[in-house]
A and B are shown apart, each in its own frame.
Chain A
Amino acid sequence: MSDFVFLFRATEADNREHMGTPERAQRSMEAWLTWIRDLEAKGHLKDAGQPLDRGGKVVRGKKKVITDGPYAESKDLVLGFMVVQARDLAQAVELSSGCPMLDGSGSVEIRPIAKFEM
């Protein structure tokens, strides 16, 4: 088994659209809980991640230019992450297919955690 990071990306507008009415918020939440519970039941969930605050700074370049919040210039911001265990990348991709993020225009970026054999 290998570890993979799932990075959830979406635009702020898409995110709000999904939570736009209480009924939609309810559906989104239920969909997430169902998906996560399923991953957990099958032993794929290694770390459910940590919620990320919206604020923050981006520091760039040699001059260390500091800008406000990652979202100011990024259309598709990282909303959260989790660590999933899968046999290989193909299975990790398959596991992501039920992610509610994909119901809108959001995306899941799947990155293997690099292994270094000593």
Chain B
Amino acid sequence: MSAPAELDRHLFRREAGRLIPALTRIFGVHNLALAEDVVQDAFCRALEVWKARGVPENPSAWLMATARNRALDVLRRERTARTFAPELGRLLETEWTLTPLVDEAFATGAIRDEQLRMMFSCCHPRLPEEVQLALVLNILCGFGAAEIAAAFLTGRAAVEKRIARGKTALAGAKRLFDLGDAEFESRLSTVRRALYLLFNEGYHGASADAPVHADLCAEALRLTMLLREHPPAATPTTDALAALMFLHAARLPARTDAAGDLSALVDQDRSRWDRRLIADGLALLERSAAGSEVSGYHVEAAIAAAHAGAPTLGDTDWPAIVALYDRLMAVAPSPVVALNRAIAIGERDGPERGLAALGAIADRDRLSAYPFFAAAHGELELRRGAPDAARKRFEAALALARNDAERRFLERRLEACR
């Protein structure tokens, strides 16, 4: 036996995310569970064959061919007993039309369209955002309930319930969202919002597991780029969202230091920022200026670009960043944005003004469980020479820490108060 080829770390997840939408095109969304079964069968088959013969040259093509054959078996066996995709109707009835139809569903362009239709369907505005995210992660990214639960620090049962609820809604819709639908624009905005939340969950999320973090960011970025492949979805606002993800992702390698501990933006080793991602992000940001709309994504990307453009912390253009946060508060206000704005004010005008801005956050009670709200107070108290006050704030933050990385980070800040 030849040495088995290296297995892509995400092979099965990624393939599930492509094959399930493709199969749904043939089976109909009411048969989503059947599509999942067929994919699972293909995976079981892969394990049996690959362990004897080694991983094939093109494992994706192998899995797709196996899923295709299995789909044909299912259609032949069950076409009288079950209803499949209604729009395909009589085409499934004869061998003459059956095989071409299945092959068409597995063509590259068709798979991409079905992934998009699935993405738009998962992001139904009547579904709560946590259900939308769980569905996207499960169906399009191939994450199981346990992995999603770990990423969101939620119980597995709760995630299973979200997925089940979402799938019931999908099946009830009878067919997937039509990309030519009149509601395309508004649904696109819900999709972007879900991808944004997915990225943020990866970037700032509560999970202690670093690889999960990076995976969520990578998935959000991948799906956003998939969105951009569909011209009607590749609007300046989508470009801005992609730019924002690239510019943040560029900083991911520096978010943890050599010991694996969290590193605040101000302490990061900027030589570890990914220059290529920054260049891609800046190019996207430039493209995003093409339209007249200025979305929150535009402003957030511009803030990230301002940080990326400063070779050292001292070079940071804090007045420009505060101005951008003012703008962000106008288009997409939130307590976390207000918190970041206050931190930027502290950098621009000194700790007293920063503390005043923190105290002026309108709905700051919504930040009461967020450890970095108390920690921001601590930093500013420390900088204005009040270590006792700072210590109290860091202790409060520590009590709210959601994982070991945050705990160690805050413990180190506490030590700085001595």
Q: Most B CB atoms within 10 A — which of A21, A45, A48, A82?
A: A21
When C-beta atoms are compared, the residue in chain A nearest to B49 turns out to be A51
- Pair A30/B13 contact, Cβ less than 8 Å: no
The stretch of A33-41, A58-66, A67-75, A109-117 in contact with B is A33-41
A26 at the interface (CB under 8 A from B): yes
B12 at the interface (CB under 8 A from A): yes
Contacts of B52 in A (CB 8 A): 48-51, 80, 82
- Tell me, yes or no, whether A102 is within 8 Å of chain B by CB: no
Which label, helix, strand, loop or mixed, suits the secondary structure of the A interface?
helix
Q: Are A80 and B48 in contact (CB under 8 A)?
A: yes
- Measured between beta carbons, the chain A residues less than 8 angstroms from B50 are 29, 32-33
**Interface size class, chain B:** 20 to 34
Most buried by B among A26, A40, A45: A26
B43 contacts across to A, CB distance below 8 A: 19, 22, 25
Instruction: Contact check, A29 vs B7: say whether CB atoms are below 8 A apart.
Output: yes
- Indicate if A57 sits at the interface (CB-CB under 8 A): no
User: Cβ of A79 < 8 Å from any Cβ of B?
Assistant: yes
| B154 sits at the interface (CB 8 A) | no
Which of B3, B10, B43, B50 is most buried by chain A, counting CB atoms within 10 A of its CB? B43
- Evaluate whether A22 and B48 lie within 8 angstroms (CB atoms) in the complex, with A30-B7, A33-B4 already known: no
Q: Which residue of A is nearest B144, CB measured? A: A21
User: Do B48 and A52 touch across chains, with their CB atoms under 8 A apart?
Assistant: yes
Q: Within 8 Å of chain A (Cβ to Cβ): is B221?
A: no
The B interface is mostly helix, strand or loop, or mixed, namely: helix
User: Pick the contact of B53 from A22, A28, A40, A51 — CB < 8 Å?
Assistant: A51
Q: Does B11 contact A (CB under 8 A)?
A: yes
Q: Are A19 and B47 in contact (CB under 8 A)?
A: yes
Q: Given A23-B143, A26-B11, A29-B12, verify A16-B40 contact (CB < 8 Å).
A: yes
Indicate whether A15 sits within 8 Å of B44 (C-beta atoms), given known contacts A24-B144, A37-B4, A48-B51. yes
Chain A residues within 8 Å of chain B by Cβ, number = 27
Q: Is A20 an interface residue (CB 8 A)?
A: yes
Contact between B16 and A19, CB atoms less than 8 A apart = no
Known: A80-B52, A82-B52. A20 touches B40 (CB 8 A): yes
Do A22 and B4 have beta carbons less than 8 Å apart?
Answer: no
> Does A26 contact B12, Cβ atoms closer than 8 Å?
yes
* Candidates B10, B48, B55; contact of A33 at CB < 8 Å: B55
Most buried by A among B12, B51, B146: B51
Kindly identify which residue among B11, B47, B54, B147 contacts A28, using a CB–CB cutoff of 8 Å: B47
**Residue numbers in B under 8 Å from A52 (CB-CB):** 48
Please give the distance in Å from A74's CB to the nearest CB on chain B.
Answer: 17
Q: Are A22 and B12 in contact (CB under 8 A)?
A: yes
Whether A29 contacts B47 in the complex (CB less than 8 A), given A23-B142, A48-B52, A50-B52, comes out as yes
Looking at the assembled complex, report how far the CB atom of A35 sits from the nearest CB atom of chain B, in whole angstroms: 9
Task: Tell me how far the C-beta of B65 lies from the nearest C-beta in chain A, rounded to whole angstroms.
Answer: 15
Contacts of B12 in A (CB 8 A): 22-23, 25-26, 29
B1 interface residue, CB < 8 Å from A? yes
Q: Complex Cα distance A51/B47, Å?
A: 9
Q: A45-B1, A49-B52, A82-B52 are in contact. Are A29 and B46 (CB under 8 A)?
A: yes
Name which residue of chain A comes closest to B145, CB basis.
Answer: A21
| Bound-complex Cα distance A30 to B45 (A) | 15
Q: How far is the CB of B5 from chain A (nearest CB, A)?
A: 9
Interface residue ranges, A against B (CB under 8 Å): 15-16, 19-26, 28-30, 32-33, 36-37, 40, 45, 48-52, 79-80, 82
- Pull 12 A–B residue pairs with CB atoms less than 8 Å apart, ordered by A: A21-B143, A23-B12, A23-B143, A24-B144, A25-B40, A25-B43, A25-B47, A32-B47, A33-B7, A48-B1, A51-B52, A52-B48
A-B pairs, 5 with minimum CB distance: A21-B144, A22-B142, A22-B12, A51-B49, A25-B43
Contacts A22-B43, A23-B142, A48-B51 aside, 12 further interface pairs with beta carbons under 8 A come to A23-B143, A25-B40, A25-B44, A26-B12, A26-B13, A29-B12, A29-B47, A33-B50, A36-B51, A45-B1, A48-B1, A80-B51
